Structure 1
Amino acid sequence: MTKNKISIIGVPMDLGQSRRGVDMGPSALRYAGAIEKLEELKYQIYDLGDIPIIRPDKPNTDHDSKLKNLKQVVEANQKLSEMVDQEVTKGHFPLIFGGDHSIAIGSLAGISKHYDNLGVIWYDAHGDLNSSETSPSGNIHGMPLAVSLGIGDDKLTAIGDYVPKVKPENIVIIGARSLDLGERELIRNKGIQVYTMHEIDRLGMPAVMEEAIGYLQNRTDGVHLSLDLDGLDPSEAPGVGTPVIGGITYRESHLAMEMLEESSMLTSAEFVEVNPILDEKNKTATVAVGLMGSLFGEKLK
Structure 2
Amino acid sequence: MVGTTPLIKSRQVSIIGVPFNGGQPQKGVEKGPLRLVDSGLAEQLQELGWEVGHESNENIINELQPSSDPDVMGLKQPKFVSAVTQNVAHQIHERAKQGKFVLTLGGDHSVALATVSGVFGVYPDACLIWVDAHADINTPEATESGNIHGCPLSFLMGLSTDHPDFQWVKPILKANRLVYIGLRDLDAFEKKTIKSLGIQAFTMHHVDKYGIGKVVDMALDHVNPNRELPIHLSFDVDALDPSVAPSTGTPVRGGLTFREGHYICEAIAETGLLVAADIMEVNPALEDEVAVAQTIQVGCSLARCCLGETLL
TM-score by length of 2: 0.91
Query: 1:19 — aligned with what?
Result: 26
When residues 148 and 89 of structure 1 are mapped into structure 2, their CA distance, relative to the original with a 3 A threshold, is same
Q: 2: distance between equivalents of 1:243 and 1:100?
A: 13
Which residue type is aligned with residue 2 of structure 1? I
Q: What's the Cα RMSD here?
A: 1.7
Q: Which residue of 5, 17, 24 corresponds with 1:10? A: 17
Tell me by how many angstroms 1:146 deviates: 1.3
Preserved contact between residue 34 and residue 56 of structure 2 (Cα < 8 Å): no
Q: 2: distance between equivalents of 1:129 and 1:281?
A: 28
1:143-191 Cα deviation digits (max 9, x unpaired): 011111012253465335xx31210111010000001111111101110
- Within a 5 Å distance, the mapping from 1:157-236 to structure 2 comes to 157-159=166-168, 163-218=170-225, 221-236=229-244
Q: 2: distance between equivalents of 1:24 and 1:263?
A: 32
Preserved contact between residue 151 and residue 157 of structure 1 (Cα < 8 Å): no
Query: 2:129 — aligned with what?
Result: 121
Q: 1: distance between equivalents of 2:165 and 2:81?
A: 8
Q: 2: distance between equivalents of 1:86 and 1:113?
A: 10
When residues 265 and 248 of structure 1 are mapped into structure 2, their CA distance, relative to the original with a 3 A threshold, is same
When residues 252 and 156 of structure 1 are mapped into structure 2, their CA distance, relative to the original with a 3 A threshold, is farther
Preserved contact between residue 248 and residue 282 of structure 2 (Cα < 8 Å): yes
- Within a 5 Å distance, the mapping from 1:1-301 to structure 2 comes to 1-2=7-8, 4-51=11-58, 52-53=60-61, 54-56=64-66, 60-62=69-71, 64-152=72-160, 153-155=162-164, 157-159=166-168, 163-218=170-225, 221-279=229-287, 280-301=291-312
When residues 157 and 221 of structure 1 are mapped into structure 2, their CA distance, relative to the original with a 3 A threshold, is farther
1:91-137 Cα deviation digits (max 9, x unpaired): 11111110000000011111112233220000000000001111010
1:28-64 Cα deviation digits (max 9, x unpaired): 1112221111111000111122252234568x542x4
1:213-262 Cα deviation digits (max 9, x unpaired): 22222277311110000000011101100000000000111111111111
Tell me by how many angstroms 1:88 deviates: 1.3
Preserved contact between residue 157 and residue 164 of structure 1 (Cα < 8 Å): no
Instruction: Select between 181-190 and 48-57 the one with higher mean Cα deviation.
Output: 48-57
Tell me by how many angstroms 1:282 deviates: 2.2
Instruction: Select between 78-87 and 211-220 the one with higher mean Cα deviation.
Output: 211-220
Q: 2: distance between equivalents of 1:164 and 1:16?
A: 20
Q: 1: distance between equivalents of 2:114 and 2:308?
A: 26
Q: 1: distance between equivalents of 2:73 and 2:163?
A: 10
Q: 2: distance between equivalents of 1:155 and 1:228?
A: 27
Preserved contact between residue 117 and residue 166 of structure 1 (Cα < 8 Å): no
Unmatched runs of 5 consecutive residues or more in structure 1: none
Instruction: Select between 67-76 and 286-295 the one with higher mean Cα deviation.
Output: 286-295
TM-score by length of 1: 0.94
Q: 1: distance between equivalents of 2:190 and 2:246?
A: 25
Unmatched runs of 5 consecutive residues or more in structure 2: 1-6
Q: 2: distance between equivalents of 1:217 and 1:245?
A: 30
Instruction: Select between 144-153 and 202-211 the one with higher mean Cα deviation.
Output: 144-153
Q: 1: distance between equivalents of 2:292 and 2:184?
A: 26
Give the number of aligned pairs: 297
After the TM superposition, which parts of structure 1 deviate over 6 Å for at least 4 consecutive aligned residues?
A: none
